[in-house]
Amino acid sequence: MKKETILKAMTDINDDFILEAAPKGYMPKEKKAFSWFNMKMLAGAFAVLLMAILLPQVLKPGQNVPGGSNVELVRPYETVESMAQAEQIIGFSLECPDTFLEWTRSEISVYNKEMIDVAYTDADEEIMMHVRKAAGEDDISGDYNTYGFETEINGGNYKVTVKGDDGRVHLMTWIRSGYSYSISLTEGISLDDAARIVSDIH
């Protein structure tokens, strides 16, 4: 007899046969509709559904979850109508141009009442650049990629760390007057454009 046939014969037993062979007075246990295993599976499915509902509420549009190309810590944020409103919430403002290259300042957000983020979009409303400012000296870019080159440019009385690939700048960070700044770019810009935008950020 093959192994598969023996296994089927051992496991495929009719309940009526069990009752006939059981001693007198034997009462079979009731089969439960939901076992402990099924309850755990149901709880797991509910947790996945809950994450799918809640994650878009705390993750800023255009950012990736941890493990993506740009790793960004998930933190509460609030979109505001103007820089004046942001300053009222956070206690400082961020000076940056209304437009840069062919991009337009489209959204101002305050993160956890600690950081201002300004997003710039292109004609297709795709986010092309983020400009950030926060008190202190921590890296606030949220960009932990490894780039092909890293250098410094002169921002006047402070140095700007520049990172990128193939001669295109994708990230700039610097400290000025007790504040940390960062500029992150989707497609990258030239070093000349990088120096120009830095001079317009205060």
H-state helical runs in 24-147:
36-58, 83-90
Task: Round the average pLDDT of the chain to a whole number and report it.
Answer: 77
**Of the given ranges (24-28, 83-87, 192-196), which has the lowest mean pLDDT?**
24-28
Query: What is residue 51's predicted lDDT score, i.e. its pLDDT?
Result: 57
Q: Selecting from 2.60.200, 3.30.70, 3.30.200, 3.30.420, what CATH number does the domain 77-199 have?
A: 3.30.200
Instruction: Tell me the whole-structure pTM to 2 decimals.
Output: 0.64
- How do 149-154 and 127-135 pair as beta strands? unpaired
Residue range 40-65, pLDDT digits in tens: 566 666 665 555 554 444 444 444 33
pLDDT over threshold 80, residue 2: no
The better pLDDT of the pair 8, 141 is held by 141
Confidence (pLDDT) at 73: 43
Distance CA 1, CA 181 (A): 76
Read off the tokens for 18.
Answer: 């069990």
Mean pLDDT of 175-196: 94
Nearest to 83 by CA among 145, 14, 131, 26: 131
What value does the mean pLDDT take over residues 74-92? 87
pLDDT digits (tens, 9 = 90+) for 138-153: 999 999 999 999 999 9
Q: What confidence tens digit (pLDDT) does each residue in 101-118 have? A: 999 999 999 998 899 999
86, 93 contact by CB (below 8 A): yes
What residues contact 59, with CB distance under 8 A and at least 6 apart?
Answer: 65, 72, 74
User: Is a pLDDT exceeding 90 seen at residue 34?
Assistant: no
Q: Three-state DSSP class for 148?
A: coil
CA 10 to chain CA centroid, nearest Å? 52
**What is the DSSP secondary structure assignment for residue 75, as one 8-state letter?**
-
Query: For residue 95, which phi and psi values (nearest 5 degrees)?
Result: -90, 120
Among residues 163, 167, 168, the alpha carbon closest in space to that of 182 is found at: 163
